[in-house]
Amino acid sequence: MVDLYGVIVLPRWTRQAAIAAVVLSIAGLIAWAENYWLKPGLVSNALWLAGDVIWGVGFFVLLNWSVLREGAWARTRRIPASVAAFAWVGLFSYSLYLTHEIVEWRAWPIVARWLVDSGHLLPQLVVMALVTAASVAFARAFFALFERPFMSHRPAPRPTAIGSPVRA
């Protein structure tokens, strides 16, 4: 077990990447079955209810593993290239949060229909990859147009006393 700042002691399984991968795979399989395989009913409802909990556990374990790895990277002063790529996405992550549903609602039906009509066996996997790429590209453009222009590196103006003249 790991002592986190003297507050909580987590069991070892809560920071294992393999466990995170298995749990997240199960959550993905449940989501797929819910959307594409199961008919509405008791089983579908139970899986829907359990799905968020399973996603939560998987991401909890993944986050704990990531924090553990981050400590190792800080000690060795080596950051993997994949982490640097995710840091790039982190620069415009708020734009991604704001715009991903717009892209999904517009792109998903069009691309899915095209893939089904062209006879692909697993269109949802292809569509998910395409929608993810489109979401990242759209969010980057949104960031460049609507967020970046309002960011500055100038220090904030210092407050002045009431009644004192303000310098321009």
* pTM of the complete model beyond 0.75: no
The tokens for 15 are 């920071």
Angle between the 123-142 and 17-36 helix axes, to the nearest 10 degrees? 110
The rounded mean pLDDT for the chain is: 83
Region of poorest pLDDT, from 22-26, 87-91, 112-116, 137-141: 112-116
pLDDT reported for residue 143: 95
Residue 168, pLDDT > 60, answer no
Residue 89, pLDDT > 70, answer yes
Whose CA is closest to 99, among 151, 57, 134? 134
Burial of residue 52 (number of CB atoms within 10 Å: 0-12, 13-18, 19+): exposed
Residue 3, pLDDT > 60, answer no
Alpha helices in 37-163 (DSSP H): 42-76, 81-91, 93-117, 123-142
Residue 163, pLDDT > 80, answer no
